[in-house]
Amino acid sequence: MVKLSSLIAVRQIYKLGRNCYELIYEPEITLRELIKDFDKSQMLLLVLTALTPLFIYLILRVAWDLIVYGNVVAVFGAGLNFVLFLEFLIFVYLGYFVVKVLKK
């Protein structure tokens, strides 16, 4: 069971790495293949990878607030604005090519 799970994990990680690399150089072809194959696991992994900057920021911010202030501060500031802008750019990039692929 462990062997099978590790083989599946290695395969998914390899495909995720390949898809992330190809999204930079050939986004239209990569998204067309993902949509054609309807590979839900890779689509989910790509969305989660796109959300990684936000997850990292929130985890580090909560840890910093707990260490410095002893509780989580509700005001986030410029750091969150930068991360949200970065997320916006990532999803505009992906959305543009998804719409382009779906129109064909």
CA torsion through residues 70, 74, 80, 81, sign: negative
As for how many domains the chain has, the answer is 1
**CB of 94 closer than 8 Å to CB of 24:** no
**CB of 72 closer than 8 Å to CB of 65:** yes
Question: Cα(17)–Cα(77) distance, rounded to whole angstroms?
Answer: 32
Taking only the tens of pLDDT, the chain with its 104 residues reads 888 888 888 888 888 888 888 888 888 888 888 888 887 888 888 888 888 888 898 888 888 888 888 877 777 777 788 888 988 998 898 888 888 888 87
Question: Cα(56)–Cα(47) distance, rounded to whole angstroms?
Answer: 15
CA torsion through residues 87, 89, 92, 93, sign: negative
**CB of 83 closer than 8 Å to CB of 54:** yes
Q: Domain span at residue 39?
A: 2-103
Question: Cα(40)–Cα(53) distance, rounded to whole angstroms?
Answer: 22
**CB of 23 closer than 8 Å to CB of 96:** no
